[in-house]
Structure 1
Amino acid sequence: MGKKCCSTKVEPLKTEEQTSCCSSNQPIQIEQKQSEKTTCCSSNAIDSEDAGDCCNNNSIITEEAPKATTCCSNKGADENPKVSVDCCANSSEILNPVHTDLNQGIKEEFRVYGMDCPACAVTIEKSLSTLQSINGVNVNYSTGKMQVSATEELEFESIQKQMKKLGFEVELNKVNNNLKNYFIEGMDCGSCALTIENHLNNLTAVKHVQVNFPTGKMKIEHENSSEDIIDEVSKVGFKASLITSNKQASSPTRSSNQNGAVIFSGILIALAFIGSYTGISSYLTTAMYAVAMIVSGYKPVRSAYYAIRSRSLDMNVLMSAAAIGAAILGEWLEAATVVWLFSLGLNLQNRAIEKTRKSIRGLMDLTPPEAWVKVGDEVVKKPVEDISLHDVILVKPGDRIPLDGDVIEGESSVNQAAITGESIPVDKVEGSPVYAGSINEHGSLTVKVTKLVEDTTLAKIIHLVEDAQEKKAPTEAFIDKFARIYTPIVFILALFVMIVPPLLTFGTWEEWIYKGLMLLVIACPCALVISTPVAIVTALGNAAKNGVLIKGGTFLENAGSINAIAFDKTGTLTEGKPKVTDVMVFTESEENMLSIARTLEEYSTHPIATTIVDYTKDKNIHAMKGTQFKNLVGKGIQATIEDVPYFAGNLKLFEEIGTPLHDHLGQISSLQNEGKTIIIIGTVKNVLGIICVSDTIRETTKMTVQNLEKNGVQQVVMLTGDNEGTAKAIASEAGVHRYFSELLPEEKVKAIKQLQDEGYRVAMVGDGINDAPALATADLGIAMGGAGTDTAMETADIVLMADNLEKLPHTMKLSRKALAIIKQNIWFSLIVKAIALLFIFPGWLTLWIAVLSDTGAALIVILNALRLLKIKG
């Protein structure tokens, strides 16, 4: 049998087939026996020999009767008695769970992509359990992880093939106990990171190492002890400290011995300089200069030695060569001054750059290491790592919430600024979600844990920001390439200057060697290499603290060039919580018309359908028995009640089915012009009534649009599926420049492309799920409400953690400021280098001034980038 997949039309499945299919959350009618199995679906169709299941968007299929099936999304069985399976993403209780044994045989862990609801996990468990040699499967929907146990070695290809049939992607999740993270102190530019990598790669116990300069972190896979790695890093002249478990080790601080060395050598140089003018022996002043060089130059020279061994031309090599060369030429004052200025500059740079690295590390210390857990009638303190899903924890007033969960008892206000950037505490009552790292202001809360410590929203924020900091922006990647070419060229040029002119008798050896040494100092592109990553890391940290996740430097740069923003209307510009404002009845009693409306709308997941259902519930209106439910995408819904086909939908739907509307068009047009959404209830023969629904503009919408205009956004556009009248009314109230109305989901993509064709760089703002095609088409995808949806955090380029628009103008302002500072840093670094190069040959530049210009430029670049921390949200 072939694959059975459907959109708006469904062919009846044969009775022996065990799966069914639906699309876009739509209920369908399928002729099948009661004995057929329940299936869950994902976003992709199954290509199976038996049958295919192509449901998506959290849909699940279940049986109500021999000839009726339903799909549901975001509805539990408690809300809809016709649905016998709880398919909400917030529930973990699924019909007929598979019980398997994971304690026997070979075990492997996988990461699963594409699960829409917990029922999908059950489908995977059932399917994989049928494979030969597998004796246990456990799929965790919340974490997206799957553990498989088998009697013999697992074949990844067979599991991957089976998962593809089910519509999911899977990858082997290798848990590597030898992979560890370290903080590295003392790195001054990217070449320092390269030196560490090259040195450690020479060790047989090291399998892989990656050092990231902007974050000051090292990922390394090694078989020897952590102490051995720390010792090896110290040989190269840097200090490493291990990051353990979930709690990050505190960042190392620069040793007071190094500060003391800089001060002591500075005093020696000053005394020797004064002594040279007061008759002190030249041998003594030279000795003092030499001691000062050894004291402050020990670390750079040692680092230079390992850099040379690692075939790396870093700044330590260049500065050490310059200082030693000056000493050989007898220029002891300059040699000592070069080393001292270099050490002083590094000390100041490290202090400054540490502030940029701390821009995100503050989040790491927000979650308490322990929590009060209810065990029976007692409350005991446990480490957060030992707490399981569904455990109940007690959060006292003033305490930080240790794990994500749902409040099951108590009321309080919670400050969740660290997560969402909201400055005002949020009221929490029974059923409200709370996030790890937020502060319980007053009142005790009893919380049921919904996420383990490694899966909390805060943990994901930290992980995403760290990943973002490690990704190179286009500008940064270009400068790194430039520096790799620039440094060796200037180094070779320096050797040429030292050797060729004196050989051709254009001057003395001493004169040209001195100029060559100055050229060596100028060869170090530290300020240029630092210019971009420091600014990006600082901006990403600022954004994260203000409740905005930017997925990397590329997206930060993209945001800075955006000049048009398209908003999805429902839930973005508006509250997304529509209310029934008018009910008009023409041929039936109001109770009967509303009963028909509830019967139809209960099988739809659209927010307006949910609003109508809630309205009828409040009025104690009961649903009738319906069959042959069918969703009509972009138009409405259809079902058969008492052998009569009924419809609920927009004007377009009733025009297509030929219902007489001439008596109602004037009234419908008038209501639409008031900005109300019209839901018509009727049959092919007549209209039973009209239900008017209206959504309200967010309080922050108008101010957000105005602030975006101030920050250089030329076009603010609204995209909606509403009719022209409703769209026009809301667009006018929101203050947007343009609107596109009556759009089907795929037509939003066309609207984005139209804006791009007009020459705009377009950002799309939506919820990260339903607007996925438009978000992908836009130059930049921005999702709202990331704290509540993992999908939004994973799909968009930028995530606004709070469910409001207040932080969007801040994001645009921060991005533009970051771009401006990056350009300032690059131009400043290049100009300083160019001036220094020009001043060498006329003899206007001294060696110590060359060092001062290099280290000073790097310090100025860092301090300029730190200005990004002061931009307020």
Structure 2
Amino acid sequence: MEMKNMTHKEVYRLEGLSCTNCAAKFQHNVEQIEGVESVNLNFGAAKLEVTGDVTLEALEAAGKFDNIKVRPAYMKAVSHEPFYKRKENIPFFIACVLFIVSIMSGKYIGDAHIITIILFIMSMIVGGSRLFVEGMKGLIKLKFDMNVLMTIAVIGAALIGELQEGAMVVILFAISEMLETYAMDKSRAGIASLIDIAPNTALVMKGDTFIEVDVNDITPGSIVHVLPGKKVPVDGMVIEGQSTINEASITGESIPVSKHSEDRVYAGTLNITGQLLVRVTAHSNDTKLAQMIHLVEEAQSKKAPAQQFVDRFAKYYTPFIMAIALCVIIIPMIFGGDFKHYLYQGLSILVVGCPCALVISTPVAIVTAIGRAAKEGVLIKGGVHLENAGHINTIAFDKTGTLTKGEPVVVLREDFETQRDAYIYALESDSGHPLSRAITVGLSEDSKVEVDNYEVIAGMGVRGIINGTEYRIGKQEFFQLSRETITRINELYVSGSTVVIFGEYDKAYTVFFIKDTVRDEAASVIQQLKRMNIKTLMLTGDNENVGTSIGEEVGVSTVHAGLLPEDKLNLIEQYQQNSKVAMIGDGVNDAPALAQADVGFSMGGAATDTALETADIALMKDNLGDLPKVIDLSRRTMKVIKQNIAFALGLKLLAILLVIPGWLTLWIAIFADMGATLLVTLNSLRLMRKY
């Protein structure tokens, strides 16, 4: 029986992918390779997924037109050779030398001399050979990209005798492409730094010794040895040893975290002090770091509305420029104009109309911003969410775990009778309730205390018999107390706290006032948002007294208390009728509201998978202070995109207007195109600075 080949998917990293046109062409070329079933190219992340049978050599051949290099995703990037040593740039340097010699030849023996002419032609051929080949292919297929525009312009310039300007166009166009490559490489720096964080090898236990093994070959259940000063190679659980770990690569938080037996550690984090034995819990492709990288890369491939608009506009932009150039050439001829002069003007319009700067104006800003945020411990799951965050004018906060730390503490204890801490511990130690944990902190166990008939009463508390007497601990409603006792409790009441009573059915022995402490940064964050003209709400399932107290403490504008998950969802829908609403929660109980909001923010430290799955934007540091920073980053990014589009189109329009007095030259045209690319690049890279 003949066995059929199983189709498989391989992931590759790309180098030298500088523009969306080149990306589309490369993807088309790969799709034409025999054995390839499907292709998915992520331009922002420079990542290629191929399903089917294909060799690395075939992929590189598909990208030869733009010197695109391909490597398997599991291989780390090799350090690049200096610019001047790269083989693909040798023709450019030779062309530059020939161009300089041509100018000197023209100065000493004349521009019309055969030697000068040959030197200029050689400069164009050597420097523009790849450009001409791709341009002619596009022209034959009637696909009018930038290569076609430049090819027509250079050949046209040569035909009308403007050899010097034709050669200059070739050289400056090459420089412009290098600027694009530089821009995209820099904008991808955030994700590239994440990819290179985790080590390639690990010390894995084999029998009684440890041997160095490639991390891709380590399976869950293996034991790895992590030395001080080394990075954790894979996700796992500490089974022996004690150390402090710097988890900045995962959470963005630089303060080291203490790790002991049964604590989780993550690939790419730095072991600072002690030696650890770690049992591996995930393959290298499924680590927390790998999840983050995947999310960021997917985010970079999801186009923001602004980018979608630019892509649609660019689709019609190039034919429109070609039509203008044709009109500039033909219309003056009809009225007896100088054919050579207006042909030259038309060719100049083709050059100045090259869409390079316009095409990269949006993606370079989006990719830079998402990469910058990832380095700061904020995962933005797409350009659309980055853009939407800047339009938010109302933010709804969950209370527990978001505005508060989610760690209840006893703020006041009052003993009405002799302390019975051992009894309290015996009743509360096994209940598992967060309030129980707050009460038992600092209480010691007494092994002599035995509880009979132990019972948990849902929503009320627990009870049990100790030494023949039934004791209870729980809500006030769980007891039948005298009016005097209730009055005394009310006099002691701490605003915003939950009351827990210990005693017998009709006696209160001890009263605990427990409060969920507000995050240190919560009040300042609310004030920052108000200064940004953003309305703040609090949605909580807690009672109105607690909700109002916390709301007043942090300064939110409106408090909605006593809510079920569906109530939160309905409130979000109501506010969306007049506002752009964001919801921020812990990613566990607030899923419906997070999904309904225009932007869902999730609080989540390194161990919270729901933070990665539920929301549009995950604050991995678990720091509320990142919220206004993300909104500010979004607003700055949209401002940069608008500036980029204005630069790209404004400079070109200004250059085209020079046709009217007849001042537009190929030199000015190519400088306008290159200037626009340079401005767009530098303007976008401003987003790389720490926000």
**Same fold, judged at TM 0.5 (above):** yes
| Contact 1:673–1:726, Cα closer than 8 Å, also in 2 | no
Partner of 2:584: 765
The one of 834, 837, 849 aligned to 2:668: 849
Q: What's the offset of the Cα at 1:840?
A: 2.2
Partner of 1:816: 635
Partner of 2:435: 608
Matched, 1:242 2:61: no
Determine the C-alpha separation between the residues in 2 that align with 1:353 and 1:534.
Answer: 6
Determine the C-alpha separation between the residues in 1 that align with 2:576 and 2:480.
Answer: 40
Which amino acid counterpart does residue 193 of structure 1 have in structure 2?
Answer: A
Partner of 1:348: 179
Matched, 1:803 2:622: yes
SS in 1 for 2:272: strand
Matched, 1:572 2:402: yes
Determine the C-alpha separation between the residues in 2 that align with 1:649 and 1:175.
Answer: 61
SS in 2 for 1:696: strand
Matches within 5 A, 1:376-525: 376-502=207-333, 504-525=334-355
| Contact 1:659–1:687, Cα closer than 8 Å, also in 2 | no
Matches within 5 A, 1:649-664: 654=477
Which amino acid counterpart does residue 577 of structure 1 have in structure 2?
Answer: E
Q: What's the offset of the Cα at 1:577?
A: 1.6
Inter-CA distance 383–619: structure 2 relative to 1 (3 Å threshold): same
Inter-CA distance 673–579: structure 2 relative to 1 (3 Å threshold): closer
Matched, 1:865 2:684: yes
The one of 746, 751, 755 aligned to 2:566: 746
Q: Which moved more, 1:683-692 or 1:524-533?
A: 683-692
The one of 200, 221, 228 aligned to 1:369: 200
Q: Which moved more, 1:729-738 or 1:778-787?
A: 729-738
SS in 2 for 1:276: helix
| Contact 2:240–2:278, Cα closer than 8 Å, also in 1 | yes
Partner of 1:218: 48
Partner of 1:141: none
Structure 1 residues 542-586: Cα deviation after superposition (integer angstroms, max 9, x where no partner): 111111111011111112222333322222222222123455688
The one of 312, 322, 327 aligned to 2:158: 327
Inter-CA distance 520–468: structure 2 relative to 1 (3 Å threshold): same
Inter-CA distance 251–564: structure 2 relative to 1 (3 Å threshold): farther
Matched, 1:698 2:519: yes
Structure 1 residues 781-808: Cα deviation after superposition (integer angstroms, max 9, x where no partner): 1112241121221111111112332433
| Contact 2:357–2:676, Cα closer than 8 Å, also in 1 | yes
Q: Which moved more, 1:255-264 or 1:790-799?
A: 255-264
Matches within 5 A, 1:124-139: none
SS in 1 for 2:621: coil
Matched, 1:714 2:534: yes
Matched, 1:730 2:560: no
Partner of 1:62: none
Inter-CA distance 182–421: structure 2 relative to 1 (3 Å threshold): closer
Inter-CA distance 394–665: structure 2 relative to 1 (3 Å threshold): same
| Contact 1:659–1:683, Cα closer than 8 Å, also in 2 | no
Determine the C-alpha separation between the residues in 2 that align with 1:441 and 1:591.
Answer: 40
Partner of 1:162: none
Determine the C-alpha separation between the residues in 2 that align with 1:394 and 1:591.
Answer: 43
Which amino acid counterpart does residue 235 of structure 2 have in structure 1?
Answer: D
| Contact 1:638–1:646, Cα closer than 8 Å, also in 2 | no
Determine the C-alpha separation between the residues in 2 that align with 1:353 and 1:787.
Answer: 29
| Contact 1:410–1:429, Cα closer than 8 Å, also in 2 | yes
Q: What's the offset of the Cα at 1:689?
A: 7.0
Inter-CA distance 283–738: structure 2 relative to 1 (3 Å threshold): same
Determine the C-alpha separation between the residues in 2 that align with 1:431 and 1:212.
Answer: 38
Matched, 1:300 2:131: yes
Inter-CA distance 588–205: structure 2 relative to 1 (3 Å threshold): same
Determine the C-alpha separation between the residues in 2 that align with 1:696 and 1:658.
Answer: 27
The sequence identity of aligned pairs, in percent, is: 39
Structure 1 residues 477-517: Cα deviation after superposition (integer angstroms, max 9, x where no partner): 11101111222232234334434542x24423323322322
Inter-CA distance 767–597: structure 2 relative to 1 (3 Å threshold): same
Q: What's the offset of the Cα at 1:436?
A: 0.8
Determine the C-alpha separation between the residues in 2 that align with 1:265 and 1:462.
Answer: 40
| Contact 1:597–1:681, Cα closer than 8 Å, also in 2 | no
Greater helix percent: which structure?
2
SS in 2 for 1:782: strand
| Contact 2:422–2:445, Cα closer than 8 Å, also in 1 | no
Q: What's the offset of the Cα at 1:721?
A: 3.2
Q: What's the offset of the Cα at 1:863?
A: 1.3
Structure 1 residues 305-363: Cα deviation after superposition (integer angstroms, max 9, x where no partner): 34446653221111111111111111111111111110111123212321112221111
Which amino acid counterpart does residue 267 of structure 1 have in structure 2?
Answer: V
Structure 1 residues 683-738: Cα deviation after superposition (integer angstroms, max 9, x where no partner): 9999897542222223333444444455x253343333333443344334434444
Q: Which moved more, 1:760-769 or 1:789-798?
A: 760-769
Aligned length in residues: 682
| Contact 1:672–1:723, Cα closer than 8 Å, also in 2 | no
SS in 1 for 2:559: strand
Determine the C-alpha separation between the residues in 2 that align with 1:861 and 1:799.
Answer: 29
| Contact 2:136–2:151, Cα closer than 8 Å, also in 1 | no
Structure 1 residues 581-628: Cα deviation after superposition (integer angstroms, max 9, x where no partner): 4556889995798489639x82xx65335445667775666655456x
Determine the C-alpha separation between the residues in 2 that align with 1:441 and 1:658.
Answer: 52
| Structure 1: stretches of 5+ with no match in the other structure | 1-106, 108-152, 154-173
Matches within 5 A, 1:581-620: 581-582=411-412, 594=424, 598=428, 602=431, 607-612=434-439, 618=445
Inter-CA distance 351–428: structure 2 relative to 1 (3 Å threshold): same
Partner of 2:375: 545
Determine the C-alpha separation between the residues in 2 that align with 1:785 and 1:797.
Answer: 13
What is the CA RMSD across the aligned residues, in angstroms? Answer: 3.5
SS in 2 for 1:577: strand
Partner of 1:775: 594
Partner of 1:117: none
Determine the C-alpha separation between the residues in 2 that align with 1:334 and 1:589.
Answer: 95
Determine the C-alpha separation between the residues in 2 that align with 1:310 and 1:645.
Answer: 90
SS in 2 for 1:446: strand
TM-score by length of 2: 0.89
| Structure 2: stretches of 5+ with no match in the other structure | none
Q: What's the offset of the Cα at 1:476?
A: 0.5
Which amino acid counterpart does residue 720 of structure 1 have in structure 2?
Answer: T
| Contact 1:675–1:726, Cα closer than 8 Å, also in 2 | yes
Determine the C-alpha separation between the residues in 1 that align with 2:70 and 2:171.
Answer: 27
| Contact 1:188–1:526, Cα closer than 8 Å, also in 2 | no
Higher relative contact order at CA 8 Å, sep ≥6: structure 1 or structure 2?
Answer: 2
Inter-CA distance 342–423: structure 2 relative to 1 (3 Å threshold): same
SS in 1 for 2:518: coil
Partner of 2:27: 197
Which amino acid counterpart does residue 275 of structure 2 have in structure 1?
Answer: S
Q: What's the offset of the Cα at 1:828?
A: 1.6
